[in-house]
Amino acid sequence: MNLLTAIRTFFTAGQGVFRGMKDASEDSNPIELFKDWFETAEKSGIILPEAMSLATSTPDGHPSLRTVLLKSFDEDGFVFYTNYESRKARELIENPQASILIHWAVLHRQVRIEGPVERVSDAESDTYFASRSRGSQIGAWASMQSKMLGSREILENRVKEADKKFAGQAVPRPEHWGGFRIRPERIEFWQGKADRLHDRFIYSRETGAWRGSRYYP
Ligand SMILES: Cc1cc2nc3c(=O)[nH]c(=O)nc-3n(C[C@H](O)[C@H](O)[C@H](O)COP(=O)(O)O)c2cc1C
């Protein structure tokens, strides 16, 4: 690596390039590893470290992507919230398989997660919905996500109507709004390193237990 490349790598890649994946091995628990990486991303000052790309596909194999926010994760899976009548939700209901991707550019880190998807329980969606701001709650009633909208004014009028409807009371969760959980079967960690000789570990769940392997970059 020449000096210029080294300086550029230092400033753009931050700590990640130099840290490598010392903490990863064939026996690591990928959920624990994800937690460690997520906490590092939160501390790094990245805006929206929880933003992730969500890929879905129609049953006949047409893929689509969009950004959603990761709201919780544990051994059971990775949860995001959305409108159950949106395009992504319709695709997930017809073909309950998803892939999510998070790229923390400043850390030179990428995580890919794949697996089957299910709706979270109504109780879990209720709890999360209740924690949102009133404005977001009203927005969930007003927006017919992914449907064509004639004008901004129509949306603003729908917000006013919902606001009036629930004036002076707690906003209940609309039935068309809630969470999905991706139950991971494959999790890949990618750590950028100098000279494109990156570290990659792929973990897959076999008969309940995680097994990891190192891969060529
Ligand atoms: C940073 C960011 C975060 C977002 N988070 C969410 C989210 O958590 N849930 C959601 O439904 N849409 C979220 N969106 C909007 C989606 O990307 C998308 O536009 C919307 O969900 C409609 O997608 P669909 O038509 O494929 O269903 C977010 C967009 C951005 C840019």
Cα angle value 76/80/81 (rounded, 5°): 130
The reply to whether 137 falls in a domain is no
pTM (2 decimals)?
0.92
CB 160 within 8 Å of CB 176: no
- From CA 133, how far away is CA 73, in angstroms rounded? 21
Looking up residue 117, the CATH number of its domain turns out to be: 2.30.110.10
The reply to whether 156 falls in a domain is no
Instruction: Work out whether strand 97-104 and strand 63-69 pair parallel, antiparallel, or are unpaired.
Output: unpaired
Mutate to test the pocket of ligand 1, among 57, 58, 82 (most ligand atoms within 8 A of CB): 82
Q: Is 196 a catalytic residue?
A: yes
Strand, helix or coil at 93? helix
Ligand 1 neighbours, Cβ below 6 Å, are 48, 51, 64, 66-69, 80-83, 86-88, 145-146
CB 17 within 8 Å of CB 9: yes
List beta partners, residue 97: 116
Catalytic residue among 87, 196, 205, 214: 196
Backbone angles phi, psi at 21, to 5 degrees: -120, 50
Domain residue limits at 70:
3-132+173-214
The pLDDT value given to residue 6: 56
Q: Residue 208: pLDDT band by 50, 70, 90 thresholds? A: confident
Q: How many domains, in total, are found in the chain?
A: 1
Backbone angles phi, psi at 67, to 5 degrees: -90, 135
- From CA 14, how far away is CA 108, in angstroms rounded? 8
| Nearest-atom index, ligand 1, CA of 48 | 1
- From CA 80, how far away is CA 14, in angstroms rounded? 28
The reply to whether 61 falls in a domain is yes
The reply to whether 151 falls in a domain is no
The reply to whether 45 falls in a domain is yes
The reply to whether 155 falls in a domain is no
Of 5-9, 29-33, 82-86, 180-184, minimum mean pLDDT range? 5-9
The reply to whether 49 falls in a domain is yes
Nearest protein Cα to ligand 1, atom 5? 68
The reply to whether 150 falls in a domain is no
